């Protein structure tokens, strides 16, 4: 194989691997932010439940206070009932007693509802807080994993950059510039494998003579459609990375 062509194949493999590693590394901060946002949603949910709990407890205390104020009035009416002298007065006081009892009962029913609601909210908050603690630990472990992976990626990128520099020194300046221009224009794919008489990237059929020339891998040839440098994998050495 033409040594410059072989070097270009290896260079592209390295460049594509670096691109992929950089893509992976760039995703880590986004993943961490997503995990932290999910935890933030848990906190918001817990805060909302605690606000409901506090509101229900406050309303219950208010109703208990109102009920406590009604009880002395009820006792007073009962005492008055013993002192009335006419049936009309008796019926009037009795009506007040019944109204006071009904009001106390209504408030006690609502108080009971609030007590049940408080118990339910307390259970939900307890479960939510336990879930939050578990997820917080999972996020912490995931963040550490991402940091380790990011560090490993940077080490691999540095190693690949060294190998890339060695290859670039071997390739002629004109050919290297051609490769870089194509890679920039073609999303990193400056070389394309020729297979079944076609360019495997743009899928355009190659002229038979061009394909036969490419199969020899002894010169720098380009696809007449996409302009990428062509090579034949059947004679190429194993991938460099």
Q: What digits encode the pLDDT tens for the residues 113-160?
A: 999 999 999 999 999 889 888 888 988 898 899 999 999 999 999 999
The verdict on pTM exceeding 0.85 is no
* CB-CB contact of 183 with 220 (8 Å): no
Query: Does 176 score more than 80 pLDDT?
Result: yes
Model confidence band, residue 1 (pLDDT cutoffs 50, 70, 90): confident
Cα separations (Å) of 56 from 45, 62, 114, 115, 121? 17, 10, 6, 8, 10
Report H helices in the chain. 3-81, 87-170, 173-185, 208-216
Looking from the CA of 57 toward its CB, the CA atoms found within 13 Å total 11
Position 235 confidence tier, pLDDT thresholds 50, 70, 90:
very low
Please name each of the domains of the chain with its CATH number: 12-171 (1.10.287.1490), 174-235 (no CATH)
Other CB atoms within 10 Å distance of the CB of residue 231: 24
Looking at every residue in the chain, the average pLDDT score rounds to: 91
- Summarised one tens digit per residue, pLDDT across range 189-232 is 999 999 999 999 999 999 999 999 999 999 999 999 999 999 99
Residue 236's pLDDT is what? 41
Predicted pLDDT at 116: 93
What average pLDDT score do residues 69-90 get? 87
Q: Give the Cα separation of 126 and 120 in Å (integer).
A: 10
173-185 and 3-81 helices, crossing angle to 10°: 30
Secondary structure, 3-state, 132-183: HHHHHHHHHHHHHHHHHHHHHHHHHHHHHHHHHHHHHHHCCHHHHHHHHHHH
Q: Write out pLDDT tens, residues 8-31.
A: 999 999 999 999 999 999 998 888
Question: What is the C-alpha separation between 101 and 162, in angstroms, rounded?
Answer: 89
């Amino acid at each position: 194989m033409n040594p410059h062509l072989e070097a270009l194949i290896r260079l592209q493999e390295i460049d594509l691997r670096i691109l992929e590693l950089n893509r992976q590394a760039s995703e880590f901060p986004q993943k961490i932010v997503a995990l932290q946002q999910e935890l933030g949603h848990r906190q918001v949910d817990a805060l909302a439940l605690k606000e409901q709990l506090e509101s229900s407890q406050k309303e219950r205390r208010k109703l208990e206070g109102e009920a406590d104020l009604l009880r002395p009035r009820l006792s007073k009416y009962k005492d008055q009932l013993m002192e009335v002298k006419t049936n009309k007065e008796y019926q009037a006081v009795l009506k007040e007693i019944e109204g006071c009892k009904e009001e106390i009962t209504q408030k006690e029913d609502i108080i009971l509802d609030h007590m049940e609601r408080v118990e339910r909210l307390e259970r939900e908050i307890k479960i939510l807080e336990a879930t939050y603690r578990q997820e917080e630990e999972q996020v912490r472990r995931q963040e550490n994993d991402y940091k380790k992976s990011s560090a490993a990626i940077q080490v691999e990128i540095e190693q690949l950059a060294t190998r890339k520099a060695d290859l670039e020194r071997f390739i002629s300046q004109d050919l290297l510039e051609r490769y870089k221009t194509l890679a920039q224009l073609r999303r990193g794919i400056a070389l394309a494998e020729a297979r079944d008489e076609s360019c495997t990237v743009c899928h355009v059929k190659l002229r038979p003579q061009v394909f036969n020339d490419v199969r020899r891998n002894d010169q720098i040839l380009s696809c007449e459609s996409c302009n990428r440098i062509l090579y034949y994998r059947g004679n190429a050495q194993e991938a460099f990375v």
